[in-house]
Amino acid sequence: MSDFTNVTIPEYNLLIGVAALDGNEVPNKELVERFGLKTRPQERQRIKDAKKLLIDGGQGHPLYYTLTDPGWDLVDDLLNGDVVPKGSLTGRSARVLHAITQTLAAANRANGSSIAGVVLTRIKDDTTPDAADEVVNILDAADGDWVPLQELRSELAPIDKDEIDAVLTELFEAGIVQVAPEENRASVTPEQHDAGWFLGGTKVHYVMKGRNV
């Protein structure tokens, strides 16, 4: 993990913004135009002194930023959550995160992969080899229809209930599936109740392939 862990929100925005624009000789003007980033000298200087960022120009000349190798390591730590910035993220933070998400998605496409594919691979690494594949196959076969959890669990037997819940949680958090409770709670059978899955304090009974909203 990076040795530079006391990252402020303006420093975070600058580092992620430079990374989103490919990290090499990025004009300060472009950061302002794209993300509204206007960093103060003291905010830039601390990152420069820590050798995370090379800064060219200044004193009346245009500024250009280049991430060093340790700077890229710090960006990785920030995106992975290993280093958490101090304070609350801002609207500028949202803009730079959106930009770097687009950059990562484009890189995945260039490699013949996708963000969903990366998530599914990670899920499979953490669970029974067939669990994630089986869940996705069943949802794909439903062709956009809701699948009762009772039915899903029956088809996945003998995979453990907790393991199925872990797979579904990962898929939901990645935006790959939608979930819903039984609207008529009075009609919930004991079997439906037992097959239900708690998510954010709500017990849900149906799952469907598709981005959650």
pLDDT at 52: 92
**What is the predicted pLDDT for the residue at 122?**
58
pLDDT mean values, one per 10 residues, the chain (213 residues): 79 90 89 86 87 85 90 87 81 80 71 61 55 83 90 86 86 85 87 86 87 52
Q: What distance in Å separates the CA atoms of residue 187 and residue 67, rounded to the nearest whole number?
A: 59
User: What per-residue confidence (pLDDT) applies to 210?
Assistant: 75
What's the confidence (pLDDT) of residue 150? 92
State residue 66's pLDDT score. 94
Question: What pLDDT score was predicted for residue 213?
Answer: 45
pLDDT of residue 116: 59
The pLDDT value given to residue 36: 87
Cα 208 to Cα 16: distance, rounded to the nearest angstrom: 34
Ordered by where they begin, the domains of the chain are 9-110 (1.10.10.10), 116-209 (1.10.10)
